[in-house]
Amino acid sequence: MAKTKKEYPLNQVHRLLQSGPVVLVTTSNKGKANIMAMSWYTVIDSDPPKLAIVISSDNYSFKALRSTKECVINIPTVKLASKSVSCGRSSGKEVDKFKTYGLTALPASKVKAPLIGECYANVECKVIDMKMVEKYDLFILEVVKVWIDPVKRPQKTIHHLGGDKFMVAGNVIRV
């Protein structure tokens, strides 16, 4: 083992591996729309596109997703950093997050959960497998529709580094 390396805590390894953009998951249950921040997800197939996402059973969004089996994954940019984090530090149990954080709910085309108008991309999803929900809070989703702002990339997405630290993407290199 290189002497220049030091041991890294096992329970922090997700900080090294999980660098996808922070996203905002919207659900709609019994007419009530909600938003939560999410970092723990991965693509597991591209055609048809499928995702695996982890939503803690403590979260209000968990019950909404489990019963409606539909959500939208909205991708914010740095302009929405503060509102996005607020969506991850408050619960739909107590707060109407669309109203409180001034975000716009737009109708989706294939699911009842709303799109967040201010996000640059919106991914409509349906739950297709809940076998791992009990054990790992893990839902398998199929993407059924995707919307994107017709602006040039790269987008300045935000990536959680732990605590109150975020990295902003945006540089593109060709290798």
Ligand X SMILES: Cc1cc2nc3c(=O)[nH]c(=O)nc-3n(C[C@H](O)[C@H](O)[C@H](O)COP(=O)(O)O)c2cc1C
Point out which residues bind ligand X (CB under 6 A).
Answer: 22, 34, 36-40, 54-56, 59-61, 85, 88-93, 160
Direct distance between the N- and C-terminal alpha carbons of the chain, in angstroms, rounded to an integer: 30
**At closest approach, how far in Å is the CB of 5 from ligand X?**
27
Q: Report the residue number, 8 or 136, with the smaller CB distance to ligand X.
A: 136
Task: Please state, in angstroms and rounded to a whole number, the distance separating the CA atoms of residues 70 and 141.
Answer: 9
**At closest approach, how far in Å is the CB of 87 from ligand X?**
6
Contacts of 9 (CB under 8 A, 6+ apart): none
Q: Report the residue number, 135 or 152, with the smaller CB distance to ligand X.
A: 135
Q: Report the residue number, 62 or 120, with the smaller CB distance to ligand X.
A: 62
Question: Distance of CA 41 to CAs 31, 38, 109, 123, Å?
Answer: 26, 8, 23, 13
**At closest approach, how far in Å is the CB of 23 from ligand X?**
9
Q: How many other C-beta atoms are found inside a 10 Å radius of the C-beta of residue 161? A: 13
Task: Please state, in angstroms and rounded to a whole number, the distance separating the CA atoms of residues 61 and 111.
Answer: 15
Nearest residue to ligand X on Cβ basis: 88
Helix (H) or strand (E) holding 93: none
**At closest approach, how far in Å is the CB of 2 from ligand X?**
32
Q: How many CA atoms lie within 13 A of 93 on its CB side?
A: 9
**At closest approach, how far in Å is the CB of 62 from ligand X?**
7
Q: Report the residue number, 39 or 142, with the smaller CB distance to ligand X.
A: 39
Q: Report the residue number, 47 or 134, with the smaller CB distance to ligand X.
A: 134
